[in-house]
Amino acid sequence: MIDIKLIRENPQLVKENIKKKFQTDKLKLVDEIKKKDEEWRKLKQEADNLRAERNSISKEISEKKKEGKNADALLKKAKKIPEEIEELESKMNAEEQKISEMLGKIPNLMHDSVPKGKDSKENVELEKIGKPKKFDFPIKNHAELGEELGVLDFDASAKTSGNGFYYMQGDLALMNQALIKFATDTMVAKKYEYIETPLLVRSSVINNVTDLHDQKNQIYKIEGEDLYLIGTSEHSLIGRYIDTIIPESKLPIKQTSYSMCFRKEIGSHGIDEKGLFRTHQFNKIEMITICKPEESMKHYEEMKGITVEIFKALGIPIRVLAISSGDLGDLKHIQVDIEAWSPRKQEYFEVGSCSNLTEAQARKLKIRVDGRGQRYTPHTLNNTAIATSRALVAIMENYQNKDGSIDIPKVLVPYMHGKTKIEKKKK
């Protein structure tokens, strides 16, 4: 949510930003918000005038009583003022609610470097890291490899839970845990505090960390309760600070969390009938930062670099993709995706995403900082350090051997009890 001051002081800037996002249907909202804000400020001025009048009358009543004069007329007048103020405040609250709802539809101001484009087809490649390996045998997909090795079972999970779930076992399950431990160790070494969060949060959090599209297509609601399964631990990490005043001395707050994540995955992409790429349940290590506004781009570069570092250490070829204006979520100031190379498809696929949301998310959550002689809204950022299911897909494809075995990346061997390869169990 943007600051109302932007629309008061520079509505044209807000409109130009909307145009860059190809959301011209929202241009009229800027004028509507400006008009509503003017009405709200007029009501506020009336209420302030009444309060001043009440104070003046109270002083006048006190003086008349001291002089022994009759103050009945003033008392009668003073009695009506609280009712008039209450009526004005009721109208103000109604207007404020309408303004807030409309502000929530206005996209955050984008960073100057965000490439202009209508959709994901116009995202821009910033850099490639690592050289794809050449194979001299037909490459198998990860689901086929996993079933042949006896480490993935999609048929059983289809019976117990439906499509979009899986049973993972043996050395692949151990490698999943190795990824979690390796990434967690990396994050802690970078001074991110490790947190274990609730996996369910209330609507007051979900409504302010996701948009309506995500809620409808991604978020699971618990029937009959005001609870939702998290789609990422970012929801509960940042949600923890809802309606909180943070002393500036505590900034920056840098946290990381491993959690199970849950998503409906309704929409054009659908889910994998067999596979780990797009599922209803998966493992992810997320990171958030709450910081001073002038430091947020520095933290953005640091967070982006951590995911790059993790995949470089794993030996997976990757690329960094700048998300275009039309593909950028409305809360986001800037975003990059980290994509891993698929030797089977001969293309890159998303394995991580890093975003700077500047004030937009913190404003919605009413997170404030006490410092510099005032209270101000901090900037928030989030980044996927690693989604292990997608990292496993990348490892299984890039590290497969002709005999169907899978080499274990060297950096994970210490977490795998010394094992260097995933092979089919001998009977």
pLDDT for 235: 93
- Report residues of the chain scoring pLDDT below 70: 212-213, 266-272, 427
User: 309-341 pLDDT, tens per residue?
Assistant: 999 999 999 999 999 999 999 999 999 999 999
Question: Closest Cα to residue 315, out of 187, 408, 186?
Answer: 408
Give the phi and the psi of residue 17 in degrees, each rounded to 5.
-65, -40
DSSP state of 422: E
**Gap between the Cα atoms of 298 and 281, Å rounded:** 32
User: What are the sequence ranges of the domains in the chain?
Assistant: 4-103, 120-422
Query: 228: which strand partners?
Result: 201, 221
pLDDT for 209: 86
pLDDT for 265: 81
Tokens of 222: 């618990």
**What is the pairing mode between strands 318-322 and 124-129?**
antiparallel
pLDDT for 88: 92
HEC-encoded secondary structure of 9-78: HCHHHHHHHHHHCCCHHHHHHHHHHHHHHHHHHHHHHHHHHHHHHHHHHHHHHHHHHHHCCCCHHHHHHH
Question: Closest Cα to residue 383, out of 301, 271, 328, 261?
Answer: 301
Question: Closest Cα to residue 18, out of 122, 103, 121, 95?
Answer: 103
Rounded to a whole number of angstroms, the distance between the first and last alpha carbons of the chain is 60
Scored b (16 or more CB within 10 A) or e, 133-165 reads eeeeeeebbbbbbbeebebbebeebeeeeebbb
pLDDT for 266: 64
For 120-422, give the CATH class: alpha beta
- Any idea what the Cα angle at residue 380 is, between residues 377 and 384, rounded to 5°? 170
User: 21-48 pLDDT, tens per residue?
Assistant: 999 999 999 999 999 999 999 999 999 9
Question: Closest Cα to residue 150, out of 165, 164, 171?
Answer: 171
Scored b (16 or more CB within 10 A) or e, 286-314 reads bbbbbbbeeebbebbebbbebbbebbeeb
The count of residues in the chain is 427
CATH number of 4-103: 1.10.287.40
pLDDT for 213: 67
**Gap between the Cα atoms of 358 and 220, Å rounded:** 27
Q: Kindly report the pTM of this predicted structure.
A: 0.89
Give the phi and the psi of residue 201 in degrees, each rounded to 5.
-135, 160
Q: What percent of the chain has pLDDT over 90?
A: 80
